[in-house]
Structure 1
């Protein structure tokens, strides 16, 4: 066989292999399109089976099984069915025509009659007036519950005073963000059904995270985990399990879809850009280092205001991977989840109040797609998630040891100085908790904390701002607070706005977008300030709506 024949044969073989690869890829894509519907069919079949069993074989009442039993399964099925309908029917085929045929003509007619500028102003005033009237009526017999309303007004005024471009503030974003925050709070804190739903969700989260204890007990032994309840072996080990699950959800695309849909909801209501809206939604579930990764290719195109929003969202919320640690300190799971949800719109509100958009964003809904998974399989995603959690665990433990030791060192020095001037009694010793408690007592008061407990909650706020939220929650566990103060304190300290997180934020974003490092370092402390205010704002809402 000549060299020419060999080359021809090799070329033909190569062409055949390419065709096979294309055919295999096309077949794989077709199969992947059918997988979601096969899963839905299986879920539907099980739901029908469970429905038949519930009606025929049991005597349970539906409302008594809404958190555990057939009722809970029905709620899950409704959510899943709606998700499928929205993704494959409503969004691609119905949403656009409905908007063009009904909503847009309606807005145009109203705008012609009244003028768009005045119409939206009137709508905003009506909604705010209804909310204010409800609060006055609801607090008529307890006027002290309106104190957090004054606190919220103070936070807005302070943020406006420190704004870098006051004339560029989009008040539509601010007003609708506050409305969303209030609606979320009303649904979860005052509406009995909403409270039950989030209490049920909180119980399920606690139960779910509790399964990690079995894995931890297998490795470390039952005594360390179940009997002695050692923090490093019981609560912190849960992070491995949660990182394992999150990576699986990320690989199969569920996490991206949930985050994208909630982000688009925030964008539609508040008018913020795609990237900052999706990042705020991601911060409900992910931490300040993980959330920006969902939009990694587009970070380089973000404006200064969008980068500020990304950082604010990271400081204003907490990661789902650390919820177990806070719960182990006595925090209510439902309150932690509520605080994370409320922080999403609130983060955009105070970010855009302190640093309004003055540039033209380059990322839009039609040119942004969430990053796909880089893992080769579900097993690869799961194992890497558990391995990557090691860095998180070591970081938490190292920070706890270092910061708590620093607090004790400072307390030793302060106690020595105080002792030299006569403050030697145990309840008179100078400590950092005592000092920051007095400093933040006025803040606690405007959040709605009863005056006798303001100093205690002030200590928690001070520890969270000066050390970290772990130190604050560990102190929270030792305090004897009333239920209302516990709720307000949980909201006020549920965020990553602390000195250590500033360094983490700078290093993470600078590694992702080194070209924007000058903007990151310039605005990081403003974002830290905004994230702190967001926690106070959600605490104000909780203070107003907590009975």
Structure 2
């Protein structure tokens, strides 16, 4: 039964991608099938093998150590503000982003990140049927984040055609940045965070290959990371510390606004209709929850979390999931957890369009015009990742 539901999920997801495709005859089915198989293999390794368990435990332990180091700095500045036994979200989940950002800055400063991104980008381009620039951008998105990644291609940005820009933006919205992984691991199981990170990378290529197929010539496919004035080590540290703090503040501000807004809308909707707005959306998303492998008895609860993520962001949805985890099966928690690990939500349209517009106004306007289609594609990526995870749990 689980296998049949998975096949149905693939058919539905691919059909939803196919109906909006701008080049149905150019779809590279061989690349799509190859990457789906890769997703299945990687999901099996990460979720069902001893090697995957050791790997995820190793990554989780690294982040545990990093979060402990981050806590030293946070306690020095904010120690004593929290009541005994309390869990201040801003300090425990968001502020560690500052320290993770610093480590990313150091890795970039010494050239390690550039080597990793170029190497993985070259390998991925042999598998995904797309250009090296798209592959480079996808790996960079998973490290820098959905807005910062475009700085790494700002020299090429004015010359990138619309179809290639869509693929790059889909990767940016489908993945999550390395600086925020630690925050996710405090809210959901690390194994689901790592699994989603890996599967989303390929999922973005799969959906883009269906919605937006094209060929890239050798002349077009040039990676040239811009060379800027060499910063001193301490200039770089200061910049990345401030960047990490800005991300923490922005996410915190968005959470305050979104949580308050959802609370108000739920209250008004419940008074008028008798059920909360989130629950009503849960019924809309319930069929999608079912096809990705959620048990029928839990599809409304799962659909509510999925809808919350789309309308607000993954943090709000993760908090909601934590509140009802005890009432859900471990299978549902796992599938929904990987669905939540991406930037696919309405606010990300503005974030990505704004980031691109800051570098090139014309291209920023282009991104804004295909914003809804971008969110549509990135949401299909999350569904695909959840479906692949479902067959393994």
User: Do Structure 1 and Structure 2 share a fold, with TM-score over 0.5?
Assistant: yes
Look up the SS of the partner of 2:66 in the other structure.
helix
Q: Which residue of 1 aligns with 2:247?
A: 392
Cα distance per residue 1:210-265 (max 9 Å; x no partner): 32111101100155287422011221110110111111111111111111111111
Conserved 8 A contact 2:355-2:364: no
Q: How far does residue 370 in structure 1 lie from its aligned partner after superposition?
A: 2.7
- Conserved? CA contact 1:203–1:333, under 8 Å: no
Find out whether 1:334 has 2:191 as its counterpart.
yes
Residue 177 of structure 1 deviates from its aligned partner by 2.2
Aligned partner of 2:380 in structure 1 is 533
Please give the TM-score of this superposition, normalised by the length of structure 1: 0.68
Superposed CA offset, 1:111-166 (max 9, x none) = xxxxxxxxxxxxxxxxxxxxxxxxxxxxxxxx334412311221012111111111
* Distance of aligned partners of 1:226 and 1:360 in 2 relative to their CA distance in 1, 3 Å threshold: farther
Q: Partner of 2:323 in structure 1?
A: 478
Say if 1:469 and 1:462 are closer, same or farther in 2 by CA, change over 3 A: same
User: What runs of 5+ residues in structure 1 fail to find an aligned partner?
Assistant: 1-142, 424-429
Name the SS of the counterpart of 1:284 in structure 2. helix
3-state DSSP of counterpart to 2:154: helix
Contact 1:468 1:500 in 2 (8 A): yes
Q: Would you say 1:299 and 2:157 are equivalent positions?
A: yes
For 1:508, the equivalent position in structure 2 comes to 355
- Residues 363-400 of structure 1, C-alpha deviations (whole Å, 9 max, x = no match): 33xx4233446452222211210012232122111111
- Aligned residue number for residue 260 of structure 1: 118
Say if 1:146 and 1:544, in contact at 8 Å, map to a contact too.
Answer: no
Query: How many angstroms apart in 2 are the aligned matches of 1:334 and 1:374?
Result: 39
Match of 1:161 among 15, 19, 26: 19
Quick check: 1:351–1:527 contact (8 Å CA) kept in 2? Answer: no
Q: Which has the higher mean CA deviation after the structures are superposed, 468-477 or 166-175?
A: 166-175
Is 1:183 equivalent to 2:28 in the alignment?
Answer: no
SS at match of 2:144: coil
- Long gaps (5+) in structure 2: none
Q: Secondary structure at the match of 2:143?
A: coil
Question: CA 1:209–1:453 in structure 2 vs 1: closer, same or farther (change >3 Å)?
Answer: same
The answer as to 2:210 corresponding to 1:345 is no
- Matched with 1:446 is 291
TM-score w.r.t. the length of structure 2 is 0.94
Deviation at 1:181, TM superposition (A): 1.7
Which structure carries more relative contact order (alpha carbon 8 Å, separation 6+)?
A: 2
Shift of 1:482: 1.9
1:86 matched residue in structure 2: none
Quick one: distance in 2 between partners of 1:500 and 1:259? 27
2:370 corresponds to 1:523: yes
Distance (Å, rounded) in 2 between the aligned partners of 1:198 and 1:306: 33
Q: C-alpha offsets along residues 249-297 of structure 1, whole Å, 9 cap, x if unaligned?
A: 1111111111111111110122211111111112222210122222221
Measured after TM superposition, the shift of residue 207 of structure 1 is: 2.6
The whole-number CA distance in structure 2 between the counterparts of 1:350 and 1:311 is: 12
Name the counterpart of 1:171.
29
- Counterpart selection for 2:301 from 456, 461, 464: 456
Aligned to 2:86: 228
Residues 456-485 of structure 1: CA deviation (Å, up to 9, x unaligned) = 111110000111111100101101222211
1:8 corresponds to = none
Residue 412 of structure 1: aligned partner: 267
